[in-house]
A and B are shown apart, each in its own frame.
Chain A
C-alpha cells in the first residue's frame, strides 16, 4: 500500500477522507503533511478549534492508545508529537484569537537532579493537544521553582516527572512542602516516570501516578471533571 504514496494529494481529498489521512500522517510522524492538512481545512472554513480536535487531537489519541499498548515507542511518538507541534504552531495564534475552550492549566517539570525530559515533553505535547494550557518548567526543578510557578496563579494541575530512582523521592519533598504551605489541596498533583508505580504515587501523596502520556491526559481530564462537579455542587 505504501507504494501509492505518490497518489496521495491532500488538497484533492474531501473532508471525510482528509481527516483520517491526517490521523495516519500523525501516526507516521509527517510534519509537512500535517501542516498542509491543517491549512487545507482552515481554507475550507473549518474553525481552528475543530481542526485541532477532529484533526490533531483525535490523531494523537490514536497514537496514545498504541503507545499505551506497547505498539508504538518513544521514537515514533516523538515524531508524531513533532508533527502535532507543527500543526499546533499554525493553530495556536488562531485559537488565541477565537477564544477556544481550555480544559485547564498545568505546570510540569522534571525534578531536581534529573535531566530526563523525554516523557515530560510527551506529556506536555499531548496535554496541549488535548486542550490544556501547559507551562513547561524544563528539567532539574527545585521545590522553589515548582511552588513559584504554582503561585503565579490559575493553575489546576501540577505534573512532576523523574526517570531515576535517585531523583524520584524528590517528588515527596515538593508535595510535603505544598502541604506545609497549606496549598496541597488547591492542586491536582500527577506524577510519572519509568521507576514509579501507583503505590509509590499514593505513598508520597500525589493524586495519581500516570504510567504514560496518554494516561496522563485521561487522568487529567477525569480530575478536572470531578473538580468541576465539586464546584458545581458547592455553588
Chain B
C-alpha cells in the first residue's frame, strides 16, 4: 500500500494533496458544532462530492472525512461506539472515488488529535491514546485507506502514540503538526524539534510536515525550518488559504486561488514535496495550484522576504529557531534553559 505514494513521488517528484475538509463541508450546509463524521453515513453523497471536488481539481492524494473519528472526540456527541463504523465509511467512500480514476489517486486516512492532554500535566495516558488511535487506524485501513495521515498534532507524545498504533496495524503513515503559536505548536515544538522527534521514532513515516496553523507564509517559514534542520524524509506542506473571516454568516478564508498558487510554487521551492491546502482551500484553489505546479519548474529556495512579499506577513517575529530567540527567565531552582 505504501509504495503507491513513494512511487508517485518518484515519478512526479512532488504530489498535490487536497484542501480543506471541515470548511468545505460548511459550504455544503454542515452546521456549527455538528460532527462532520456523521455525514459519512447520513449524507454519503455529500462526502463523495467533497472528495470528488479535490480529485477533479487535480489532487493526487486526498484525506478522508475522519479527522475526529476517534473515541475521545466522538464521545462529545455520545458516539464513542461508532469509531469503526464512521471511519470505515469515510475510507470506503474515498476508495470508490479513487478507484474510479484512470490515474493514481491516493486515499489518506485522516487522524486528528484526541483533544486531550498527555504527559506530565495531562490526563490521557500513552496506553489509552494508542488504543484509541489503533481502533481508528484499523477501521480506516479496513475501509480502504492507502496510507494513514496523522494531522494537526501539537504534542510529540500524541504523535508518538499514533505512530505506535499505526505500527500495530501494520500500515504506513504520514504525520503533520500545526505550528500556530509564535511559529511553534501550542506545546512549544519548533520546526527543528519536530525533525529531531521524527528522526527518533522507531516507526518512521513516509513523510512529515506542517498543516493548518496560521497563514500560508508562516507555514512556509516552518518548511524552511525543516530543511535547515536536515530533514531526510519528504516534507509535507498543507497551509490554510489565508486567514479566517466571517462573511455573510459563514467562515471565509481570505486567500485567493492566485495566492494559493503562489504558495504552492513557493512551498515546492522551499523543499516541500507533498503540497496541499488546509482550512479554506477549495477545489478552485486546487485547480490553480495544480496548474502552476505542472507548468513551472522547481525554482530556487525563496528567502523569508520573498515569502512575505508574495504571501503576506508572518504572525510572529521569529519561529523559535536560530540564535535570536528569547529565552525563559533565570530562576533560582531551575536556572535559565
- A residues whose Cβ falls under 8 Å from a Cβ of B: 1-2, 4-5, 8, 21, 24-25, 27-28, 30, 33, 62, 66, 69-76, 78-79, 82, 111-116, 118, 139-140, 142, 163-170, 172-173, 194-197, 199-200, 203-204
Contacts and interface: CB of A to CB of B under 8 A. Distances in A.
A25 B332 CA distance: 9
A72 B32 CA distance: 32
Nearest to B74: A115
A115 B73 contact: yes
B246 A200 contact: yes
Given A75-B120, A200-B244, A204-B246, 20 more contacts: A21-B332, A71-B326, A71-B327, A71-B329, A73-B186, A74-B181, A75-B119, A112-B33, A166-B23, A166-B25, A166-B36, A167-B32, A168-B251, A169-B26, A170-B32, A170-B33, A173-B32, A195-B279, A203-B246, A203-B247
B244 A140 contact: no
Given A2-B335, A165-B22, A113 B33 contact: yes
A172 B334 contact: no
How extensive is the interface on chain B, given as a class? 35 or more
A116 B245 CA distance: 21
Contacts of B227: none
A197 B240 CA distance: 14
A62 B32 contact: no
B116 to A, nearest CB: 8
Contacts of B76: 113-115, 139-140
A185 B183 CA distance: 37
Contacts of A200: 244-246
A195 B120 contact: no
A24 B332 contact: yes
Contacts of B247: 203
Contact of A8 (B26, B117, B279, B333): B333
Nearest to A194: B180
Nearest to B183: A70
A interface secondary structure, majority: loop
A66 B245 contact: no
Contact of A75 (B121, B331, B333): B121
B33 A111 contact: yes
B292 interface: no
The 5 nearest A-B residue pairs measured at CB: A73-B188, A70-B182, A112-B33, A113-B33, A203-B246
A1 B330 contact: yes
Contacts, number: 142
B8 interface: no
A172 B73 CA distance: 22
B244 A115 contact: no
B interface secondary structure, majority: loop
Nearest to B23: A165
Contacts of A28: 331, 333-334
25 contacts: A2-B332, A25-B333, A27-B329, A70-B326, A74-B186, A76-B188, A82-B121, A112-B32, A113-B34, A113-B76, A115-B76, A164-B22, A165-B280, A166-B36, A167-B32, A168-B244, A169-B246, A170-B32, A172-B32, A172-B249, A194-B178, A194-B180, A195-B244, A199-B245, A199-B246
A194 B116 CA distance: 16
Contact of A197 (B26, B186, B243, B328): B243
Contacts of A165: 22-23, 244, 251, 279-280
B120 A166 contact: no
B246 A24 contact: no
Contacts of B334: 2, 28
Nearest to B316: A70
B22 A203 contact: no
Contacts of A78: 117, 121
B115 A115 contact: yes
Contacts of B251: 165, 168-169
B333 A116 contact: no
Nearest to B243: A197
A212 to B, nearest CB: 8
Contacts of B279: 165, 195
Contact of A203 (B183, B186, B245, B332): B245
A24 B328 CA distance: 11
B46 interface: no
A5 B333 contact: yes
Contacts of B34: 113
A118 B124 CA distance: 13
Contacts of B329: 27, 62, 66, 71
A70 B181 contact: yes
B245 A8 contact: no
Nearest to B279: A165
A164 B212 CA distance: 10
